[in-house]
Amino acid sequence: MIIFPEGTRTKDPGGAIQEFRQGSLRFALQHDLPILPTVIDGTRYLENLEKHASTPRSARLVRLKIGKVMHSTARSAPERRQFMAELREEIISIWQGIRVEWPQS
């Protein structure tokens, strides 16, 4: 199952990762399922290829990185929020390692 915890793909021009929605991990946490943090960067170029035609091809790559499996035994609401914050920080850390600055146009 793939879950986009922001509720949508990131639309911030700078690519900032938004806050995660409260219900995004509910099923996985209720059933003690492992979470596999996965980050995709560069799909913005797929939206409007003509707009980014002058961007070097090396910068137009779509990058994907899979992190380490995370497990949670969070039961209470504060524990779930803490786990979501930790997961979000892990995803941000992975993303910062693969991200490329997008041209602002």
Q: What is the pLDDT of residue 25?
A: 85
Total number of domains in the chain: 1
Q: Which amino acid is at 62?
A: V
Per-residue model confidence as pLDDT tens digits over 85-94: 999 999 999 9
Asked, for residue 17, whether it belongs to a domain, the answer is no
Residue 69 Cα distances to 34, 63, 87, 96, angstroms: 6, 19, 10, 18
Asked, for residue 79, whether it belongs to a domain, the answer is yes
Asked, for residue 56, whether it belongs to a domain, the answer is yes
Per-residue model confidence as pLDDT tens digits over 49-97: 676 677 776 667 788 999 999 998 888 889 988 999 999 999 999 988 8
To the nearest whole number, what is the mean pLDDT of the chain?
80
Asked, for residue 83, whether it belongs to a domain, the answer is yes
The answer to whether the predicted template modeling score (pTM) of the entire model surpasses 0.85 is no
Provide the percentage of residues in the chain whose pLDDT is more than 70. 73
Three-class SS of residue 59?
Answer: helix
Asked, for residue 60, whether it belongs to a domain, the answer is yes
Asked, for residue 40, whether it belongs to a domain, the answer is no
Handedness of CA 20, 21, 26, 27 (dihedral sign): negative
